[in-house]
Amino acid sequence: MSEQLLIELIERMSVAATLAFVLSQTNIFRRLINRRNTPKDAVLLTIFFGLIGITGTYAGIPVNDAIANSRVVGVMAAGLIGGPFMGLSAGLIAGGHRYLLGGFTAFSCALANVCEGLLAGIIQKRYPGRPIPWWLALLAGVLGETMQMGIILLTARPYYMAAELVGEIAVPMIVANSLGLAVFMLMIKTAMVSQERIGAEQSHKALDIANKTLPYLRRGLNAESAHATAHIILATAGYDAVAITDTERILAFIGAESSHHAPPANITLTTATRQVLATGHMQLAQDKTGIGCSHTGCQLLSAIIVPLKCADRVIGALKLYYTRKNAIGQSDLVFATGLAHLFSTQLELTEIDHQSKMAAKARLKALHAQINPHFLFNTLNTIISLVRTKPDLARDLLIKLSAIFRYTLHKTGQNITIDEELAQVRAYLSIEQARHGEKLVIKETIDPGLGHYRIPSLTIQPLVENAIKHGLQPKPAGGTLTLKVTDCGQAIEINIIDDGIGMDLEAHNPLEHPSGESIGLINVHERLYGQYGASYGLTLASQPNQGTTITLRFPKILTDEVDDCA
């Protein structure tokens, strides 16, 4: 009887194996394995394991007013997967059911199930790996079933019946149930590995698509970027159709049935899409009704719709279609959610980059605005000094000043050509020369072919003004100001050189320790640093009573990059 009982018990293990496979496919189980389950998940899984134990009871074989069964598989699996509480609870469910069936081993079997569930939970707590390997499950099964036989001998009465029963069922149940528990855990682990492999493949595919779509999504979510992105997904992922929407309309629809789904043929959003946009949660459609297409004969029969987000704000939706019913599987869920997350991250980074550029542009304009009143104040002082003594010259200078400011107001915060900047500088110098006369000598050395490169407006003039005011003007005899524009390969250098009173940079460097008198220098330096980076800006070279050289360095640029930030 023992050999026949063993064979029958092993045959009935197929029930436990089937249930193990079903369990491994559920989202609740995956959350449990990854330790992300909610209390509700724990309760549902406990009940499920308890029901597996009850199924093992009903699949059992009557022996001497008792039942040779596989109840322990569900109970100990609960403990090995979910820990002591889940193992104990599943033992109470399955053991309680066994107790209600009656028989002289009812109490003994119920108690044994509770103890086996608790034992499996303790093993799970002490084993650091996840999930429990099959060989450990096999040893746990042997230990648990041996413990059950001991409990039957200790608590079941009459004793002779208990001893006779144990003698007949001990070896078959220990062998069959230990193997069954090992198979149960092995199938769960195999299914998990398979899911992880599928998830890895889908993640790799999503990353590949995200990499290809990055150049388009950097421009934000619009019809052009959506159309290019949908084409890439359709060519790579194997769906029958792909659509992308914003919060109000379909931006792109590529693939099957595009004749009536793609804009401008159809720009309205389906009920499922509007629900995704409103809730921020994924929606599945496994038939035509779920998709909600009113077009007769539409072949789109399955869809997954996932939200696209920027921070916590839903800005659109990604829709993936099949022309088969019930075609959306777990791999589609992994792929769609992963891809939507990557797209959302790209769009969020694009928004952050845009905001950063806008902030930088605002800061450049603020720094630029500091120059205008400073320049105006100094120039008006020059003109005021000439109003009574040389009114015609003062009038001519006011006209030049008006022209300078008319031009400056139109170019505020922009890059202008070096030729345009030098025209402003020459207009300013004509004002200063009118004031200082022969005491101010101007020289220019400009390499040919540089005039069309761009430079932030009001960059050279504040430096020239600083050289005259702080270098040459305090010198009784005046001096010479030399302006040099030099081609340095990938960069341009502009030198403003004066032979004025100079300064001791070791005692005080205005670029390192700004003061109210160095507003022009600091302003220009910060604008160049902010726009071009740490490799560019101003440097100073000066010796007391020998003069100062201000070197301005910036890259060769042909476009107005400040405006491009917008």
Cis peptide before 263 (omega within 30 of 0): no
pTM of the model: 0.46
For residue 260, which of 304, 297, 288 has the smallest C-alpha distance? 297
CA torsion sign for 219, 221, 223, 227 is positive
Mind spelling out the 3-state secondary structure of 18-74? HHHHHHHCCHHHHHHHCCCCCHHHHHHHHHHHHHHHHHHHHCCEEECCEEECCHHHH
Work out the burial of residue 41: count CB atoms within 10 Å of its CB; fewer than 13 is exposed, 13-18 middle, 19 or more buried.
Answer: middle
Contact predicate 426/466, CB 8 Å: no
**pLDDT score, position 143:** 96
**pLDDT score, position 566:** 31
Which domains can be identified in the chain, with CATH numbers? 2-197 (1.10.1760.20), 218-328 (3.30.450.40), 355-564 (3.30.565.10)
The sheet carrying 302-310 orders its strands as 250-255, 241-245, 313-322, 302-310, 283-285
**pLDDT score, position 358:** 61
φ, ψ at 241 (rounded to 5°): -160, 150
**pLDDT score, position 447:** 93
Structure tokens that stand for 214 in this block: 């990055």
Structure tokens that stand for 30 in this block: 């995956």
Looking up tokens 């693939």 gives 255
CA torsion sign for 253, 258, 261, 264 is positive
For residue 170, which of 72, 46, 44 has the smallest C-alpha distance? 72
Mind spelling out the 3-state secondary structure of 115-164? HHHHHHHHHHHHCCCCCCCHHHHHHHHHHHHHHHHHHHHHHCCCHHHHHH
Identity of residue 432:
E
**pLDDT score, position 161:** 93
For residue 413, give Cα distances in angstroms to 27, 359, 421, 530, 551: 55, 13, 13, 13, 22
Q: What is the mean pLDDT of each run of 10 residues along the chain (566 residues)?
A: 73 68 65 63 85 88 86 91 91 94 93 95 82 89 95 94 92 90 82 68 75 81 89 88 90 89 74 88 86 81 90 88 85 82 82 66 54 67 81 84 70 79 87 83 93 88 87 91 94 94 88 70 81 85 93 84 39
**pLDDT score, position 292:** 78
Element (H, E) at 540: strand 537-543
Return the SS3 of 182: helix
For residue 255, which of 276, 273, 232 has the smallest C-alpha distance? 232
